[in-house]
Amino acid sequence: MVDGVGQEQPRSANFGPLYEGPPIIEVRDLGISYGGKPALRDASFDIYRHEIFGIIGPANSGKTSFLRALNRMDDFTTGMEVRGSIHINGKDVNDWRNLYALRSRIGVVFPLPVGLPLSVYDNVAFSPRLRGIRGKAELDEVVERCLTRAALWDEVKDRLDSLGSLLSGGQQQRLTIARALSQEPELLLLDEFSIAVDPVTTMRIEDVLKDLRSELTIVLVTNLVQQARRLADRTAFFLTGEVVEIGATEDLFKRKVQDERTTGYLEGRFG
């Protein structure tokens, strides 16, 4: 698994043609600020169906704010203001009357893992139950599938009744991923998902993400530029609230860049 890193084929060769069909997310003139302090400015770009869209950049560059705006978490964050527009599936996220319907179709994994104080089983069955799935057999199947994909099944299959909030940090992170997958989302937002996960498990999850690409669209915020290189079809470089550059991941890493700052960040010459 780990050996394959660094000698990969270009994305297009792995995954076939990119950018099929209309974009799933259209971001236009997006600005985000907290109590007047800007976090992201004038962002305009598209994210396409079935791509893995990587976002890299140092801390405080607006990456997480962008994810929060996507599923309208600004509603729950006092002082967070969003200007401009985000369309998902052609519909402005501000026009969703039923925000719960919007959020239920977007899976989110934030860097700090949150195991709900429910059993492991109930953690993963939470979202399916919200969707009205009641049958034991069907729930069992969803729980096993999602936990397997999140590379957690083998570790918890004998203690599905134990509390999700008492798992180790890395396990809780994978539980969070399993929960996000249990939503059967059209869009998966991953914010530093591997921060508490060991490298071997990270690779297993990365493999799953590559497989998932055929079913959904993934926005991957990561501090690990090599992770973006391994996974993302296209990568955006955010810097202090500015979208500096967006391009095919291989181009960025082959230094076919437009902005000097991108090269600087990729080479670790940033200070």
Question: Rule CB under 8 A: is residue 159 a binding residue for another protein?
Answer: no
In this complex, which beta carbon is closest to another protein, that of residue 163 or of residue 224?
163
Q: Would you state the torsion angle of the CA atoms of residues 217, 62, 67, 4, taken in this order, to the nearest 10 degrees?
A: 40
Q: How far is the CB of 219 from another protein (least distance, A)?
A: 14
Mark residues 160-189: x for contact with another protein by CB under 8 A, - for none. ---x-xx---------x--xx--x------
AA identity, residue 211: D
- What string marks each residue from 93 to 122 as x (binds another protein by CB under 8 A) or -? -------xxxxxxxxx-x-x-xxxxx----
How, if at all, do strands 52-56 and 234-239 pair?
Answer: parallel
- E strands present in 110-227: 187-191, 217-221
State the first-to-last Cα distance of the chain, in angstroms, to the nearest integer. Answer: 33
Among 126, 133, 144, 247, binds another protein (CB under 8 A): 126
Residue 133's identity, in one-letter code, is I
Q: Structure tokens of 253?
A: 């890493």
Which residue number, 97 or 269, has a Cβ lying nearer to another protein?
97
73 binds another protein (CB under 8 A): yes
> Is residue 76 involved in binding another protein (CB under 8 A)?
yes
Binding to another protein by residue 195, rule CB under 8 A? no
> Exposure of 128 by Cβ count < 10 A (0-12 exposed, 13-18 middle, 19+ buried)?
buried
Burial of 104 (0-12, 13-18, 19+ CB in 10 A): middle
Is 130 a residue that touches another protein (CB under 8 A)?
yes
Where does this chain bind another protein (CB under 8 A)?
Answer: 71, 73, 76, 78, 100-108, 110, 112, 114-118, 126-127, 130, 163, 165-166, 176, 179-180, 183
